Structure 1
Amino acid sequence: MNLYSIINGYFRLDGGAMFGVVPKTIWSKIAPADENNLIRLAMRSLLIEDEGRLILIDTGIGDKQDQKLMRHYYLHGDDSTDKSLAAQGFSRNDVTDVYLTHLHLDHAGGAVKIIEGKYVPAFPNAKYWTNQAQWDWAMNPNAREKSSFLKENLLPLEEHSVLHFLDMDNPSQLPKSISTRISSGHTQSMMIPTLPYKHKTVVFVADLIPTAAHIPVPYVPAYDVNPLQTMTEKATFLSEAFENEYVLFFGHDADIECCTLRMTEKGIGVKETFPISAL
């Protein structure tokens, strides 16, 4: 097995929204904001090469949304999915599976492209994986998440017959090295992939813990549909991760790709930080 970090781009969101009830006087010390109160975030995917398959975890926001919408996200930088794949010796055509942790536009927007005026799968040879509960949730969105579940990111996958639902009782759908845990505080049935790698356990923590700054249990984004559930899920996961020395891989931290954990007088916190390539 080989693991690669893929940067789909960078964006900015309101720091207050990203840290919920935590006061700015506290969160700004670990996540500095600009003059508009915005903090810099990554859209980072994990690429897994295993059992003859190339599996991309999440896709970033993509480039097909209208400019009015894109302006809200302050996309910046020269990094892209294609450049990151090429740097590792791959192209979109090589990807066999796209595993979408959840269907919010900053994770699933890059799943679909516009070619000759038509919406088509952005990875032409790939199966796309979500789960039935998250799909149903996205197809009938609540008022808070409606702007994050965009039909043009999702329905073309169904229309092109590349959409598949992960069955937790059927591990043969993906390489046996990949297991999935479900978290529903951020959104219904978000999938969190876990895999053994070089005698470690690597966990793509998705939006359960968007950045290393979000490790403290109360640091929950205002975007979460059920923040109290997020806190419970996060506390359970962090205890397990600390006890078993997991490596956390962050999808949104602009500076920290991976970390291990340690116990401090204030609770579980960051021990060491490093790129996945350092393992």
Structure 2
Amino acid sequence: MKIYPIETGNFKLDGGAMFGVVPKTLWQRTNPADSNNLIDMSMRSMLIEDGNRLILIDTGTGNKQSDKFFGYYYFFGDFSLDTSLAKHGFHRDDITDVFLTHLHFDHCGGAIQWNKDRTGYEPAFKNAKFWSNKNHWQWAVEPNVREKASFLKENINPIEASGQLNFVNIPNGDFAQNTELGFDILFADGHTEKQMIPHIQYKNKTIVFMADLLPTVGHIPLPYVMGYDTRPLLTMDEKATFLNKAADNNYLLFLEHDAHNELCTLKHTEKGVRLNETYKFNEVFN
């Protein structure tokens, strides 16, 4: 098995929205804002090469939305999904599986693209199975008012229409072991219904793809919860359980949205679980 970080693009979001009720004087210590109160965010996917399977976890936003839509998010930098795949010798047609942690636009938008004459949409990965779960899919196709702006029909409906949609089995508890994709999955409901957090065993370490359970290292303290979360108190409980387990077991946390830190580890302190170290992926896995 080989794992590659795949940078699909950087954007900016309102710092207040990203940290909910936490005052700016506190969160700006780790996530400094610009003059518009915006903080840097990444969309860092993960590529897993395992035998004859090439699994992509999340896809970034893609590029099919309007200039007006993208104008809200202040994209910056030169990263793209295609150039990042090419850097490691791959093309999107090589992808066998696209695993979507959840269906918010910044995680799944790149799964669907315009067709050749821009009259409709088609899968951006023509040879891949797309993976979600039934509960989250239903949550996304019949969105609540809070999340409606993040669940975009043009990102979601064409996946089902393609015939390439598959569902991961939901366990009785919150943790599925040795799933169809070859890794464990933690199901978390605080951010959105049945968000999926992959746990990958790699070179004698456990790497956890954090998605929106932990967007950046600045979100490690329990009250630092996004305003986007539908059930913030549940997020705090889920974080508490996970962060303690991560610190106990020295998990490597793969940060999808932290523009400046790819991996981190945690430690126990008198104030609770806190950041231990940050790393570039290649510093740990040469």
Give the TM-score normalised by structure 2.
0.95
Residue 239 (structure 1) aligns with: 244
Moved more, 228-237 or 71-80: 71-80
Deviation at 1:226, TM superposition (A): 0.3
- Per-residue Cα deviation, 1:67-91 (whole angstroms, up to 9, x for no partner): 1111111111110000100001111
Query: Retained in 1: the 8 A contact 2:101–2:132?
Result: yes
1:179, 1:256 → 2: CA distance?
23
Give me the whole-angstrom Cα distance separating, in 2, the residues matched to 1:172 and 1:149: 28
Q: CA deviation at 1:174?
A: 2.7
Query: In the superposition, relative to structure 1, how do residues 156 and 226 fare at CA in structure 2: closer, same or farther (>3 Å)?
Result: same
Checking the alignment, whether the CA contact within 8 Å between 1:212 and 1:253 is kept in structure 2 is yes
Two-structure CA RMSD over aligned residues (Å): 1.3
Which of residues 187, 192, 196 is equivalent to 2:192? 187
How much does 1:173 deviate?
5.9
- Fraction of identical pairs, as percent: 54
> Contact conserved, 1:210 with 1:251, CA < 8 A, in 2?
yes
| Number of the residue aligned with 2:253 | 248
Partner of 1:131 in structure 2?
A: 133
- The answer to whether residue 176 in structure 2 is matched with residue 174 in structure 1 is no
Match of 2:202 among 197, 201, 206: 197
In structure 2, the partner of 1:153 is: 155
**Gapped runs of 5+ residues in structure 2?**
none
Consecutive unaligned residues of structure 1, counting only runs of 5 or more, are: none
Contact in 1 for aligned 2:20/2:225 (Cα 8 Å): yes
Find 2:268's aligned residue among 260, 263, 266.
263
In the comparison of the two structures, how many residue pairs are matched? 278
The CA distance in 1 between the partners of 2:49 and 2:260, in whole Å, is 24
Q: Secondary structure at the match of 1:61?
A: coil
User: Who is 1:40 aligned against?
Assistant: 40
**CA drift at 1:269:** 1.2
Deviations 1:4-27 (A, max 9, x none): 000000000000000001000000
Relative to structure 1, the CA distance from residue 245 to residue 172 in structure 2 (aligned partners, 3 Å threshold; closer, same or farther) is closer
Task: Say which SS state the counterpart of residue 147 (structure 2) adopts.
Answer: coil
Answer whether contact 2:8 2:60 (CA < 8 A) is retained: yes
Alignment partner of 1:207: what SS? coil
Per-residue CA deviations over 1:147-200 (Å, capped at 9, x if unaligned) read 000010011111110111111469776343x11110000000000000111111
**Structure 1 segment 70-109 matched on structure 2, within 5 A:** 70-109=70-109
